[in-house]
């Protein structure tokens, strides 16, 4: 039974203030909520976050390992390309509505925080109908349907991309440019030379390129990178390459003195501390973490992402001078080699990209959002 709403945690007391976090499906919709929730509890232990997600999403495997009570519902996304299957969406929403009602009666939430994805839609609809205040964390430069549909009832939007305000519309006072809520880099930062040596690289000479395609890896990226490595890397370039667990066995043989192949990076801060440039997908959380570390990126947006939002993210960040957009359809060994050789052979260009990355960084976003939520909770209307 994937329902821990009745389970008490050490910080949960009878007079705690419940804040409902609704969202998930992907890490980009779940991890921002976890970052905000943990910061809320750190700032005010009297706040009790409770998560609502979908049985079909990443939250099914992540939330049971967290400290937070949670309710996982049999929700389905909109089947845009197979509309005849939307009966599943409707039936799941009806059942979810009943369970949300029971949860609301038990926990009496004072606020609902929407973090995107189909898992958020039903909870936000319930909150709107029952007069529970809503805020939303909008993670992409082109926010999804859920973020846009509940504009009328949303008190504040916390924007990972300031450009999202144009898409959402409405009152400009609703839009708060916070950046994406992430786990910020440690203070003080790890020593770069020591971090490079920990990976078996020289302390100073040659840039380090970090490659990963999200937590599960990307076969499209991995296949091209493998051929590139076999062809021969640029001189003095070092690679930290996360393939994802499913693909690791296929590429593990390419591990060597200059190429460190890993199935997963945990903690990923060990890799960030040694990195000069990244080749990654264009998810909001990925780019937010990189920029918080001052790491520029070559972005290969996932073409199948909902509403192609990663392509919008990549174009937006390229326009801001923080990254280079390399569409997956154009990702070939020759194009990858030319792009990276051009960059690492032009230190001023690398420096400009790094400056652009730092300009987009919002390492304290989770605390900024948590403090604004606490202000709302302190008002009589909440």
Please state the domain extents for the chain: 17-181+364-378, 192-360
Distance linking the first and last C-alpha atoms of the chain: 32
Q: Do domains 17-181+364-378 and 192-360 have the same CATH topology?
A: yes
pLDDT band at 136 (very low <50, low <70, confident <90, very high): very high
Per the prediction, the chain carries an average pLDDT of 89
Run of H or E including 155: strand 154-159
For residue 372, pLDDT beyond 70? yes
Q: pLDDT tens across 223-243, in order? A: 999 999 999 999 889 999 999
User: Contact at 8 Å (CB) between 241 and 268?
Assistant: no
Q: Is the dihedral of CA 24, 263, 197, 333 positive or negative?
A: negative
pLDDT reported for residue 77: 61
- The average pLDDT across 171-180 equals 94
Rounded Cα–Cα distance for residues 228 and 56 (Å): 36
Over the stretch 33-42, which tens digit does the pLDDT of each residue have?
Answer: 999 999 999 9
pLDDT band at 309 (very low <50, low <70, confident <90, very high): confident
Strand partners, 24: none
What is the crossing angle of helices 347-360 and 333-344, to 10°? Answer: 90
Tens digits of per-residue pLDDT, 177-218?
999 999 889 989 999 999 999 999 999 889 999 999 877 789
pTM as predicted: 0.82
Q: Does residue 9 surpass a pLDDT of 50?
A: no
The answer on pLDDT for 12 being more than 90 is no
Sort 8 into a burial class: Cβ within 10 Å, 0-12 / 13-18 / 19+: exposed
* Per-residue tokens: 191: 């020593």
Task: Write the class of the CATH domain 17-181+364-378.
Answer: alpha beta
Listed in sequence order, the residues at least 6 apart from 371 whose beta carbon sits closer than 8 Å to its beta carbon are 43
pLDDT of residue 1: 36
Q: What percentage of the chain has pLDDT greater than the value 90?
A: 70
Nearest 5 degrees, angle CA 94-CA 95-CA 101?
Answer: 90
* pLDDT at 13 > cutoff 50: no
Task: Give the relative orientation of helices 284-292 and 309-319 as an angle to the nearest 10 degrees.
Answer: 30
For residue 146, pLDDT beyond 70: yes
Per-residue pLDDT for 78 more than 70?
no
Pick the CATH number of 192-360 from 3.20.20.120, 3.40.640.10, 3.30.300.30, 3.40.50.2000: 3.40.50.2000
């Amino acid at each position: 039974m994937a329902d821990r709403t009745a389970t008490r945690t050490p910080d949960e007391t009878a007079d705690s203030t419940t804040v409902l976090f609704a969202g998930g499906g992907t890490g980009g919709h779940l991890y921002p909520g976890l970052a905000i929730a943990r910061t809320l509890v750190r700032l005010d232990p009297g706040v009790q976050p409770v998560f609502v997600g979908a049985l079909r999403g990443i939250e099914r495997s992540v939330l049971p390992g967290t400290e937070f009570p949670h309710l996982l519902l049999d929700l389905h996304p909109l089947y845009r390309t197979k509309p005849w299957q939307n009966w599943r969406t409707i039936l799941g929403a009806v059942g979810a509505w009943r369970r949300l009602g029971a949860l609301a009666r038990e926990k009496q939430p004072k606020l609902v925080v929407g973090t995107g994805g189909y898992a958020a839609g039903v909870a936000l609809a319930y909150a709107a109908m029952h007069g529970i205040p809503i805020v939303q964390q909008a993670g992409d430069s082109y926010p999804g349907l859920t973020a846009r549909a509940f504009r009328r009832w949303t008190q504040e939007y916390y924007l990972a991309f300031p450009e999202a305000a144009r898409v959402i519309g409405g009152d400009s006072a609703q839009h708060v440019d916070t950046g994406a809520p992430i786990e910020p880099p440690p203070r003080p930062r790890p020593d770069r030379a020591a971090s490079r040596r920990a990976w078996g690289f020289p302390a100073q000479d040659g840039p380090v390129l970090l490659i990963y395609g999200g937590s599960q890896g990307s076969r499209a990226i991995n296949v091209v990178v493998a051929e590139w490595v076999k062809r021969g890397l640029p001189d003095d370039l070092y690679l930290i390459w996360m393939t994802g667990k499913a693909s690791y066995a296929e590429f593990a043989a390419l591990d060597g003195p200059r190429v460190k192949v890993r199935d997963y990076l945990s903690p990923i801060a060990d890799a960030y501390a040694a990195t000069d440039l990244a080749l990654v997908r264009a998810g909001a959380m990925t780019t937010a973490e990189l920029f918080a570390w001052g790491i520029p990126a070559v972005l290969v947006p996932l073409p199948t992402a909902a509403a192609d939002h990663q392509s919008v993210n990549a174009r937006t960040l390229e326009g801001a001078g923080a990254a280079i957009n390399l569409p997956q359809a154009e990702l070939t060994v020759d194009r990858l080699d030319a792009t990276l050789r051009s960059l690492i052979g032009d230190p001023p260009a690398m420096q400009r990209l790094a400056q652009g990355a730092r300009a987009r960084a919002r390492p304290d976003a989770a605390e900024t959002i948590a403090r604004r939520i606490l202000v709302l909770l302190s008002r009589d209307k909440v």
